Structure 1
Amino acid sequence: MKYFAVLLPMKDEELSKEHRPAHLTYLEERRSDGKIFANGRFVDGWGGLVIYKAETMEEAKQLAEADPFVKLGARHCEIHEWDIVIS
Structure 2
Amino acid sequence: MKYFAVLLPMKDEELSKEHRPAHLEYLEQRRSEGKIFANGRFVDGWGGLVIYKAESLEEAKQLAAEDPFVKLGARDCQVHEWDIVIS
Cα deviation digits, residues 10-36 of structure 1 (max 9, x gap): 000000000000000000000000000
Determine helix, strand or coil for the equivalent of 1:76: coil
TM-score after normalising by structure 1: 1.00
Alignment-mate amino acid for residue 79 of structure 1:
V
Matched residue count? 87
Q: Distance in 2 between matches of 1:12 and 1:33?
A: 29
RMSD: 0.2
Alignment-mate amino acid for residue 56 of structure 2:
T
Report what 1:51 is aligned to. 51
Q: What stretches of structure 1 of length at least 5 have no aligned partner?
A: none
Of all paired residues, the percent bearing the same amino acid is 89
TM-score after normalising by structure 2: 1.00
Q: What stretches of structure 2 of length at least 5 have no aligned partner?
A: none
Q: Distance in 1 between matches of 2:33 and 2:47?
A: 24
Alignment-mate amino acid for residue 84 of structure 2:
I
